[in-house]
Amino acid sequence: MRFDLSDLRLFLNVVEAGSLTAGAARTHLALASVSARIRDMEAEIGTPLLERGRAGIAVTPAGEALVHHARLMLAQSERMRGELAGYGKGLKGHVRLWCNTASFGHGLSADLARFLAANPNIDMDLEERPSWQIAQALAEGLIHLGITSDAADTSGLQLTRYREDQLVVAMPRGHPLCQRARLRIADVLDQPFVGLPEGNGLQSLVDRNAVRAGGALKYRVRVNGFAAVATMVGPHIEAHVGLAVIPAAVAQQLRESHALVFVPLDEPWARRTLVIAVRREDVLPAYAKRLLAYLRPAAE
């Protein structure tokens, strides 16, 4: 049985993307080429790895076994590359890092920019995902590091505190609620809201707790990114679209440029600790360990 690492990586891309088409796009190959290579893999072992259907693909028991071994082999390969990188300039490390929405507002992008500038031989795959997906990806060995909330199920992971995260309600000057020292989510259930896209981890957290408080938030518009949210909230009541819930660190960045008012959200779930999470630090490749070591002083 002869599968090279590119075959294994291709197969994982298809499985993780959920379809041959999406897997081909992630691998930067033509759909016909990806389909042919997987058929060749199936012919090599003598059993189907995937079940194809209109709704996408389903992984067979043989495919599940291959997924498990492929992840182990690719992780070991990356660890080898990381350890050898110190002996020659020809090898480059490639860190896979997922983070939640809140961490971007707490200086993560600046931390990563400084790290990449100081480490030209290290590249990075950076994706924004909900905290529960980050914890799951770490447990399954899909990524090296994650920045997530401690509210997620992080059992079995090694954690380092990164930042404290407090949520606030953003509103324009002149809004009837802007003089309040603090707010509960129940206080704003009758207000229109500006939100992040459906499925966003932070927005899902707010929505779940609004329902627990007795109602659902009424979104007039959903936009990508906190800058767009701030523009829609508007600096003056005359240009106001709706309220928004954002991290306090993001609010500090937007305060001067958008002239908004921010009132702390006084709820236990609105005060979270962001953590740097890894599955096992001792098996990380050298370049991922370097990033972890770099982020730790930033957390202090």
Closest CA to 175 of 235, 246, 220, 216: 235
Asked if residues 194 and 219 have their Cβ atoms less than 8 Å apart, the reply is yes
Q: Answer positive or negative: Cα dihedral of 231, 232, 238, 244.
A: negative
- Number of CB atoms found within 10 A of residue 160's CB: 15
CA distances 251 to 73, 85, 106, 230, Å, are 43, 40, 10, 9
CA distances 87 to 74, 91, 275, Å, are 20, 9, 32
Closest CA to 180 of 271, 258, 272, 261: 261
pLDDT at 105: 66
pLDDT at 89: 52
Looking up tokens 């939640």 gives: 100
pLDDT at 90: 46
Segments of the chain scoring below 50 in pLDDT: 90-91
Phi-psi region of 26 (alpha: psi -120 to 50; beta: other; left: phi over 0): alpha
Question: And the tokens for 193?
Answer: 């809201």
pLDDT at 83: 63
pLDDT at 169: 96
